[in-house]
Amino acid sequence: MATERLYYSDSYLTDFSARVLKCEPADGAWRVLLDASAFYPTSGGQPYDTGFLGAARVEDVTVNSAGEVWHTVDQPLPEGSEVRGRIDWERRFDHMQQHAGEHMIAGAIHRLLNGHTIGLHLGHDASSIDVDLPGGATRVDEESLLLIEDAVNRDIQRNLPIRCWFPDEAELSRLPLRKPPTVREHIRIVMIGDEECVACGGTHPARTGEIGLVKILDARPSKGKMRVTFVCGQRAVLDYRMRFEAAREAARLLSTEVESLGAAVSHQLEKTKEAERALGALRREQILEKAREAIRSPECLPNGLKAVACVFEGADAFALRDAANEITSAGLIALLSAGTQKGSLLLFAVPPSVPVSAGRLLSETCRVLGGKGGGRPDFAQGAAPGGEALKLALENLAREAAE
């Protein structure tokens, strides 16, 4: 027997009585079927209500294809008994605000962009809809998003009526539905003002003014559609508060006002870039100076070959390349490394007059150590675990020179 769903006629109903038809164990909890319920079951992208049945806490609510609403509770209820149900109003009203706000956003997107909403997800912190836009577009400009947001908030401030009802077939055929219903029987309509009209089984407030505020947080491509993320009502207030406090703290740290924060951040970023450029130039000069010092005492190998094996802490690949150019310009082989979290960054370079392949030397060194690398005869890069790469490279170079 289908459960009578009391929230259809009254979304504000939070206290009701019903008879327990069935109570059965389920994975450490109990599933309860009532003859009537005001608890909303998860469906249509809207999460379930929570609350109590007697002293039992309602932890989940689902509905099956037969229209039976099952309540998962933390303790059993006697079959045949009368039980008092109490809805968590804060959660219910939050979902009412989010769901009605979603209808208004979807309606505005349809009117202004000819976009069709596919799916709704009411999340814990924010909600989202996926929108199918003309021509397969997955983005819109910021101006369009502001137009949608402004249109919705104007209609919220107009405090338009929200009507929810089950029309007969004749009336249904005359309604300006935004999209066709997904069911064929017992079609429930939600109409906001005289513009937004769609089939929906969710809970909604009686007037748009109760939504309070809608804020679009994000709109980006997702699986070939445009995903619009938003908050409504108290969520929008809390989101504004969080962002305001973050902006105020950032302004305090930069010794400016919130309205000047953008300019202050841009100025600070430019100063940081200048400092990074200066630091980079200083670090490069230090690395080159270390390379010049190493050139004065190279490793002397058989057949007159000379190499500089040197570790440069904190250097990146570009700095190693500069050091290698300095060393090879002096006619010396460069075997250089820089420590990383996973081992060593390696760079080998050989002057044109030296009959040694930097690529082959690096490949052989990395292969022994379990690293990877290679390159041209004059220049090669790679990486290897541990800090033994340069010692091994010198041994390989000495052996190659001896042959």
Contact 3, 66 (CB under 8 A): no
Bigger pLDDT: 350 vs 156: 156
Q: Give the tens place of pLDDT for each residue, 101-114.
A: 999 999 999 999 99
Contact 165, 188 (CB under 8 A): yes
Residue 105: partners with Cβ closer than 8 Å, 6 or more residues away: 129, 148, 152, 214, 216, 228, 230
**Distance, first Cα to last Cα, the chain:** 92
**335 in a structural domain:** yes
**46 in a structural domain:** yes
Bigger pLDDT: 162 vs 376: 162
**325 in a structural domain:** yes
For residue 220, what are the domain limits? 93-249
Q: pTM score, two decimals?
A: 0.77
Same domain (yes/no): 134, 192: yes
Give pLDDT, residue 187.
94
Q: Where are the beta strands (DSSP E) in 167-246?
A: 189-192, 196-199, 214-222, 225-232
**Domain boundary, last residue among 21, 53, 87:** 87
Same domain (yes/no): 60, 152: no
Closest CA to 227 of 321, 129, 358: 129
Same domain (yes/no): 111, 244: yes
How many structural domains does the chain have? 3
Place of tokens 């004065």: 296
Q: Give the tens place of pLDDT for each residue, 43-72.
A: 999 999 999 999 999 999 999 999 999 999
**Domain boundary, last residue among 62, 87, 112:** 87
Contact 109, 228 (CB under 8 A): yes
In three-state form (DSSP H/G/I as H, E/B as E, the rest C), the secondary structure along 64-122 is CCCCCEEEEECCCCCCCCEEEEEECHHHHHHHHHHHHHHHHHHHHHHHHHCCEEEEEEE
Same domain (yes/no): 205, 103: yes
Looking at residue 178, which CATH number applies to its domain? 3.30.980.10
Looking at residue 291, which CATH number applies to its domain? 3.10.310.40
Same domain (yes/no): 57, 106: no
Q: Is the pLDDT of residue 222 over 70?
A: yes
Same domain (yes/no): 82, 129: no
Give pLDDT, residue 341.
67
**Domain boundary, last residue among 249, 274, 294:** 249
**254 in a structural domain:** no
**198 in a structural domain:** yes
Contact 396, 358 (CB under 8 A): no
The CA radius of gyration of the chain, in Å to the nearest whole number, is: 35
φ/ψ of 124, rounded to 5, equals -70, -40
Compute the distance between CA of residue 336 and CA of residue 251 in angstroms, rounded to an integer.
45
Compute the distance between CA of residue 235 and CA of residue 213 in angstroms, rounded to an integer.
9
Compute the distance between CA of residue 318 and CA of residue 340 in angstroms, rounded to an integer.
15
Give pLDDT, residue 403.
52
Closest CA to 370 of 383, 361, 357: 383
Average pLDDT, the chain: 91
Task: Tell me what the mean pLDDT of segment 80-109 comes to.
Answer: 97
